[in-house]
Structure 1
Amino acid sequence: METKKEKAKNQEKETQNYKCPKCKKLFASRKRLTRHLNTTHSEARPHKCPICDSSFKRSDHLKRHMLKHKPDRERIFKCDKCTKSFFTQDTLRKHKRFVHEKELPYKCEWENCGKQFRKRSKLKYHIAKDHKHKKPYKCKVCKSRFDHPSQLKRHQRIHTKEKTNICLQCGMAFMKFYELQKHIKQMHPRIFKCKVCQKEYTNKKSYERHIKKHNPKDFLFVCKHEGCNKIFSCQGSLDVHIKVKHSNTKAHCAKCGKTLSSTSALIKHQKTSCKGVVNNIDQIKIDKMKIVNGIGNIGNNENIENIEKNNEKNSISTQF
């Protein structure tokens, strides 16, 4: 015994006089054939969402999409096989078909393939990429091809001259994002304004360097070694001070055998109080800089002795 639904389907089949010229599918009315051609065989998406960038082939699809933008809307259609819920009965039905029943209605008819897909678009992508070895998304204007629909959409703006990158400060629009960035940098630079003297800077580092002049106490670097408490204007100067003055390594004078607290103290000792006074002061300055910058080895007696020997030779040669 046929049900009413089956009977209606059979009656419809008998009156299917409208054939699709592309896929040979039959339809009972011209209206249904037209809808089929527009949705299946056309890439046009004339129905655009006024809120987001989404576009649709059919007006009822747009209406269904617009429901998502309602803030007070609830997901009242719940799946009885999992915890998910949906806004419409149709989306719930699709969820069950594709997720729980694993329905894959679109099958690849290429020889020795037979792969199945959930969406027609996925099947088209598969055929173009795996069988025809082409990028599946084609521009209708210049025939360029792309791997992803987003790439095609971005490319099509070249032909439509659509400027989607808008400056929020002046309203100017640009085709490319880097053009917008360049515009903002030139026309609307970020201003760093000093609250004390109202001076303005476009560079953050210059601004920070300036405000230190107004509040020097807030930007001082103090040596925390016991009995020192020396103050410096930058971290680099403090680091050099600690390396030279508070290094645990002792320096020994090879000439008189005296032990000093640091390399700088040794150099000062050799220049002033040691019997073997070093005459080449410039060489001492160079070697001191090497030690401070980590090139020389702090507290290395052999290095100091070599410096002294070289300078002693220089002093002897100048006497003759």
Structure 2
Amino acid sequence: MILKGNHPWKCTFEGCDKKFKFRCRLKRHEMTHSEERFFKCPELGCGKSYRRIDHLRMHSIIHSEDTKPFKCPMEGCESKFSLKHHLSRHKKEQHDIEKRFKCNIQDCNQSFTQDYLLRNHKTIHTGEKSYPCEHPGCTKSFSSSAKLRDHGQVHSEQKRWRCAFQGCTQDFQKYHQLCKHLRQDHKPTCEMCSQKVKDFKQLRLHMKTHDPNRLLFPCSWEGCDKYYSSIKSLNVHTKATHKNIRPFVCVVPGCEMTFAYKNVLTNHIKVIHEVILISYIQTYPRKVHKLNNEIKLNKQITDIEHLTGYDYERGRNIKCTIEDCKYLFKRNYDLERHLKSFHKDLLKNQETEEAL
């Protein structure tokens, strides 16, 4: 006779101190220390094998027509399970234990074994979630106690978020306030040249300029000793400095100045045409808003539809200023290019008439 709590069968495998009440369980456990898999799946084409026969039985369910063979025997219950212990747990929780928590809603005879199951059930009748906020004036409710606990921080005056920068002692009640503080008051700074940048992504890019082993692209023009960290920057330098290419044209009527860099053009308009720019923006808004939800659909059209001009007018709310020209555009930039390409002569004639 084996007394309760007595486990005489000990595993002899080195480093394993497990004990068992019965010898058969010890034998089954010893198979886990072996690399050999004695129990192979007999299904044709399936090469699975296992160390224990109960694992093979669990695996064999996937080859049967009914993947959930264990049905609840209780009358009126149609629950099915793939494992026997799942069925046993279901019977214990749903049928064997007294259901002390009963729904008090009229004409509802449901009862449950756990309090939280009853609370979740009541939401069917009330439409409200199980965990309402008890703070005065707050009508929010939540589906779990954890979400309610997190929500409680909104009503708390405790400043939970502290800035981690050395020497900064500011605390904040909300996380987004801390993020705003970090962006404004603690901008990333280069330790080598003390230059401040917008964010840590820009700081990583900036630190590459201090790398002595970085790849540099020198300018090949005679007498120029400039060098750049990318081919793109070198090409921009070559076009602007040596080839005198100025692709950015001032869009203000009557001004024919051109610039090599877009930021220089922007500053030119702000400083020189400050008064004219306000009326120009009101007449020709640079930002084009989408008209309706249909424009948001980025529909892919076929080659035939593209060649035939299918749905050409969608999103094109800017008309060509030249009379009898039926072209439409989405951006003022496209309109400017169109005028310079297709109506160049007409624009020159208009400028000559205005000058006279």
Do both share a fold (TM > 0.5)?
A: no
TM-score range relative to shorter protein: 0.3 to 0.5
- TM-score, normalised by the number of residues in structure 2: 0.33
More helix by share: 1
Larger RCO (alpha carbons 8 Å, 6+ apart): 1
Larger Rg: 1
Using structure 1 for the length normalisation, give the TM-score.
0.36
